[in-house]
Amino acid sequence: MTELNAAIMSRLGTVTALTSNLAYLKNGGTAPAIIDGQAPEGQTYPYVVFSLQGGGDLNDNPHRTKSLVLFIRAYSTHSLKQAGSIDAVIDTALHLVPFSNVTGWTNTWLARESDLETVENPPTGTQVFMRGGLYRNRITK
């Protein structure tokens, strides 16, 4: 969903409380690290990643309606608290706040459904902390 991804990037990219706490994109230089899909190797922490996890057409009315699940999360090597603080800003920006700029679609709602948290111990020896959530997005044509 290219249109939805662009809307999420636009929304998160305008939240100063979020962008001021993120590293810059590895390959973008001056843009805050809000990444669609997967972070590039060597991306500086902290950063945000969002991705479509599943969903599809509902087929419950004559209009095209999709129910999509998005995974939006913050990564940090500083602490779980830092990842959580970034996640809280994301939640405020997205939970129950409809999008009006998803080209060709009408957003009916976006809501956080689950909280997720991990601590990873990669071979580099630096712990990586993640906090985020699964968001349900219903859009209609």
Q: pLDDT digit string (tens) for 81-103? A: 999 999 999 999 999 988 777 77
Strands (E), 17-127: 34-36, 47-57, 65-76, 106-120
Which domains are assigned to the chain?
2-140 (3.30.2000.30)
Average pLDDT rounded to a whole number, residues 102-108: 78
Question: Is the pTM for the entire model greater than 0.85?
Answer: yes
Return the structure tokens found at 128: 């990586």
Average pLDDT rounded to a whole number, residues 96-113: 82
Cβ contacts of 112 within 8 Å, gap of 6 or more: 91, 94, 95, 133, 134, 135
Nearest to 136 by CA among 80, 58, 59: 58
Q: pLDDT digit string (tens) for 18-74? A: 999 998 887 767 788 999 999 998 899 999 999 999 887 778 878 888 889 999 999
Rounded Cα gap, residues 128 and 119, in angstroms:
6
